[in-house]
Amino acid sequence: MEQNGRLTLWYDGGCPLCLREIALMKRLDKRQRIRFIDLTEAGASCPLERSLMLRRLHAQKGETLYSGAAAFAAMWREIPALRWLGLLAKNKTILGMLEYGYVKFLRIRPFLQRWLRRPL
């Protein structure tokens, strides 16, 4: 999956929250160091079962596959404005706290998705 040292990041293109987050990350990724793959597109290749990958954010650089908060941290390290946050997350305690928050967020994600899809 890795191309020329780029980070590959898989996201749920059917999730309005994910789309907003990825749009921001794409704008911040001025050097195009991240290859963004929408898992809802036909033919999107992925290293794990698609349904599993849709449950959590995943990223890969080289042979290393990241999931959850670790995938966010890997993405942040590729974006100069957020690199400090990604480096901070290399600390196991910090990463553990981020993962804890991410797991809690995943529990309310379906409610937030429905709220964002409501017509105004």
DSSP string, 70-101: HHHHHHHHHSGGGHHHHHHTTSHHHHHHHHHH
Per-residue tokens: 117: 């899809």
**For position 98, what pLDDT does the model report?**
97
**For position 2, what pLDDT does the model report?**
46
Per-residue tokens: 21: 């987050």
**For position 57, what pLDDT does the model report?**
95
Q: Are 36 and 19 in contact (CB under 8 A)?
A: no
Asked whether the whole model's pTM tops 0.85, one would answer yes
Q: What is the pLDDT along the chain (120 residues), one digit of tens a residue?
A: 445 689 999 999 988 888 989 999 999 999 999 999 999 997 888 899 888 999 999 999 999 999 999 999 999 999 999 999 999 999 999 999 999 999 999 898 878 777 766 654
Distance, in Å, from the CA atom of 18 to the CA atom of 72, rounded to the nearest integer, reads 12
**For position 17, what pLDDT does the model report?**
84
**For position 120, what pLDDT does the model report?**
47
